[in-house]
Amino acid sequence: MKIETRAIHLGHEIDPGTGAIAPPIYLTTTYERDADGTYPRGHVYSRLSNPNRQSLEKAIAGLEGGTVAATFSSGLAAIMSLFQSLSAGDHVIASQDLYHGTTKILKEIFGPWNLEASFVDTTVESEVAQAVRGNTKLVFLETPSNPTLKITDIKAISGIAHSVGAHCVCDNTWATPILQRPLELGADLVIHSTTKYFGGHSDVLGGAVVGKTDDTFFQRLRLIQQIGGAVPSPFDCWLVSRGLQTLPCRIRNHSENALKIAEFLNQHPRVERVYYPGLPGHPGYKIARQQMSMFGGMLSFQVLGDQKSALAVTGRVKIIARATSLGGVESLIEHRSSIEGPESTTPNNLLRFSVGLENVEDLIADLEQALAL
């Protein structure tokens, strides 16, 4: 079956008891045993498993082309579980340009636990090859990256990881499996903040890890999910499951709008630089065309001038909302370096834009008036 059909039907079996088309939400925390003490219906206690989570994990694994998935209460909880699956003394290679929370987790939480991390430019294969050590267990990529949309060659970097027996993990939050399927390109694991495009409506936090195989690494991660307990609620799972059904059509519409806006900004005299992998001048354009089917709904741009000039633009938008996060139906714009904090290396005139599903002409008109002096 094609991805649109799978998005609608995977994990959405009609409820056998009632015939309900939309799945019920199982708020129960606990499940009855049979008289002989067994659990013939599979569930014991909702931290360990519950029907809504099970359906969501099945759908996410299927869409990414993996065999297993574990969902969490946030994207960062999913990323935590990944590093918690390693041991002290292990080494991780990570992209320099990453969601800032991922970098923080590695430096501030796992650094003191003696998990070593090297941050390299993963768009340059030789930098990754040079960073590899005997104890390298994980190579963590994010492509397109946050916030400057760098494109990493997933196939090439997975090859380097595998040459030393390390797992290659790709944060696929910005592309989603509709545009890019890292497991098919060689990655072993995929990460998602389901808060973003999967949920799609800015109303639920969540995360997921998808495994290509149910190997010992993934089994340890599953243990951390069940015993560590950073699990999503049944209602959270239900919301993300519903979001997934419209993911293919939303993502295409986000991508179409974003390309038009990137082209508009790219010729605007008050814009210094546009970061969007669908523009032929973008350094990752060629690889993006190979590994993505469209270029996604996220872009960043530098406003000519300084931080004040950039903030002035956000001060004038009328339809587009000033807020962090991404992937919802509504367009969001944000001044990125101020949300990333004092250690941010993001240019202070950079605005990140999550292109929503409004009519693109209305969005362009809003940007046009916001950029006018």
Ligand X SMILES: *Cc1c(COP(=O)(O)O)cnc(C)c1O
270 is catalytic: no
User: Does 211 contact ligand X by CB under 6 A?
Assistant: no
Contact 181, 35 (CB under 8 A): no
H or E element at residue 69: strand 68-72
Residue from the set 50, 55, 71, 74 that interacts with ligand X by CB under 6 A? 74
Distant-in-sequence, close-in-space partners of 140: CB < 8 Å, separation ≥ 6: 82, 92, 93, 94, 95, 98, 102, 169, 171
Residue from the set 57, 97, 142, 334 that interacts with ligand X by CB under 6 A? 142
Choices 71-79, 83-91, 286-294, 330-338 (CB under 6 A): range interacting with ligand X: 71-79
d(C-alpha 136, C-alpha 31), whole Å:
42
Q: Give the CA distances from residue 146 to residues 103, 104, 156, in Å, rounded to whole numbers and listed in that order.
A: 11, 14, 20
d(C-alpha 149, C-alpha 252), whole Å:
18
Sort strands 207-211 and 321-322 into parallel, antiparallel or unpaired: unpaired
Q: Give the CA distances from residue 173 to residues 56, 216, 248, 254, in Å, rounded to whole numbers and listed in that order.
A: 16, 24, 14, 14
97 is catalytic: no
90 is catalytic: no
User: Does 146 contact ligand X by CB under 6 A?
Assistant: yes
User: Does 75 contact ligand X by CB under 6 A?
Assistant: yes
User: Does 245 contact ligand X by CB under 6 A?
Assistant: no
User: Does 205 contact ligand X by CB under 6 A?
Assistant: yes
Which of residues 193 and 349 has its CB atom nearest to ligand X in the complex?
193
Among 26, 99, 197, 276, the active-site one is 99
Which of residues 12 and 167 has its CB atom nearest to ligand X in the complex?
167
User: Does 171 contact ligand X by CB under 6 A?
Assistant: yes
Residue from the set 158, 195, 255, 257 that interacts with ligand X by CB under 6 A? 195
User: Does 228 contact ligand X by CB under 6 A?
Assistant: no
User: Does 101 contact ligand X by CB under 6 A?
Assistant: yes
Length of the chain: 373
Choices 18-26, 106-114, 188-196, 241-249 (CB under 6 A): range interacting with ligand X: 188-196
User: Does 207 contact ligand X by CB under 6 A?
Assistant: yes
d(C-alpha 24, C-alpha 44), whole Å:
18
User: Does 169 contact ligand X by CB under 6 A?
Assistant: no
- From the list 11, 26, 1, the residue with the least C-alpha distance to 241 is 11
Distant-in-sequence, close-in-space partners of 356: CB < 8 Å, separation ≥ 6: 254, 257, 297, 320, 328, 329, 330, 331, 332, 363
Kindly list the residues in this chain that would bind ligand X in the complex (CB under 6 A). Answer: 74-76, 99, 101, 142, 146, 171, 173-174, 193, 195-196, 205, 207
What residues are annotated to the active site? 47, 99, 171, 196
